[in-house]
């Protein structure tokens, strides 16, 4: 078995004395693992950095085997990320989220969004809004998408301001009014309306975090990424 592809390196872990197991998100193939013999050498150190785009050749005797990677650097993104703390945090958070995906299950939409976030040159607020939208898509790709198209109570498609924390369905302002304290705020930028404010970004992460915890982190008994709270605090500061 053999295939070639271009992918985003999202993780590397040691294996034995000199090798590593690389985790690469490949278009059309999803999150794929492969053994890189000699991967701990200084020659490959700069290549095997999460955030880099690489060309990989995977080989195995049988499809279900781990297999081996031959790897070639295509875009050295990691150095620029390390030089920009906020972009580095965003990259780390995005890679942590990609690890939630099942192996060998294509999620090209998430891969494209991840690359766009890593190359984002906007303000901290714009970067935060992009990562919040990414988490919304992540929920959808994992099968837990929120229904933000219409109000759960009235069916209207405008003036949607809140989300039910139980069902994940949107609620319009009028229907939400008696239950405001029990609902999660829906920032307008998440449904394609207007620019995000610092408060909007904080509320967006509160919304996505609630459903990630409900459907993913808690059922799998895993902790949320440790970098997430720090990133959210930085991108939702008023000075943005």
- pLDDT of 238: 62
> What distance in Å separates the CA atoms of residue 21 and residue 37, rounded to the nearest whole number?
9
- Separation of CA 210 from chain center: 15
pLDDT digits (tens, 9 = 90+) for 102-132: 999 999 999 999 999 999 888 999 999 999 9
Q: Which domains does the chain have, with CATH numbers?
A: 2-76 (2.40.50.140), 84-148+186-235 (no CATH)
- The torsion of the CA quartet 72, 33, 50, 209, rounded to 10 degrees, works out to 150
CA 69 to CA 60: how far, in whole Å? 9
Confidence (pTM):
0.94
Burial (CB count within 10 angstroms: exposed 0-12, middle 13-18, buried 19+), residue 217: middle
pLDDT at residue 61 tops 70: yes
pLDDT tens, 182-221?
999 999 999 987 889 999 999 999 999 999 999 999 999 9
Distance CA 95, CA 87 (A): 12
CB-neighbour burial class of residue 221 (10 A; exposed 0-12, middle 13-18, buried 19+): exposed
pLDDT of 240 over the 80 cut: no
pLDDT digits (tens, 9 = 90+) for 43-58: 999 999 999 999 999 9
């Amino acid at each position: 078995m053999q295939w070639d592809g271009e992918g985003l390196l999202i993780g590397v872990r040691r294996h034995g004395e000199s090798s590593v197991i690389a985790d690469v998100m490949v278009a059309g193939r999803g999150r794929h693992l492969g053994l890189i013999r000699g991967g701990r050498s200084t020659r490959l150190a700069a290549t095997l950095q999460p955030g880099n785009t690489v060309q990989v050749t995977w080989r195995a005797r049988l499809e279900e085997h781990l297999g081996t990677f031959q790897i070639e650097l295509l875009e050295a993104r990691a150095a620029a990320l390390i030089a920009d703390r906020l972009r580095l945090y965003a990259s780390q958070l995005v890679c942590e989220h990609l690890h939630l995906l099942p192996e060998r299950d294509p999620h090209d939409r998430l891969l494209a969004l991840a690359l766009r976030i890593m190359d984002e040159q906007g303000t901290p607020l714009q970067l935060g809004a992009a990562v919040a939208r990414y988490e919304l898509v992540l929920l959808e790709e994992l099968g837990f998408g929120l229904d933000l198209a219409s109000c759960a109570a009235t069916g209207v498609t405008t003036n949607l301001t809140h989300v039910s924390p139980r069902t994940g369905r949107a609620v319009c302002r009028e229907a939400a009014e008696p239950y405001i304290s029990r609902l999660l705020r829906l920032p307008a930028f998440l449904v394609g309306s207007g620019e995000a404010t610092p408060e909007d970004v904080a509320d967006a992460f509160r919304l996505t975090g609630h459903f990630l915890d409900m459907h993913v982190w808690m059922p799998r008994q895993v902790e949320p990424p440790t970098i997430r709270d720090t990133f959210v605090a930085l991108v939702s500061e008023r000075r943005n």
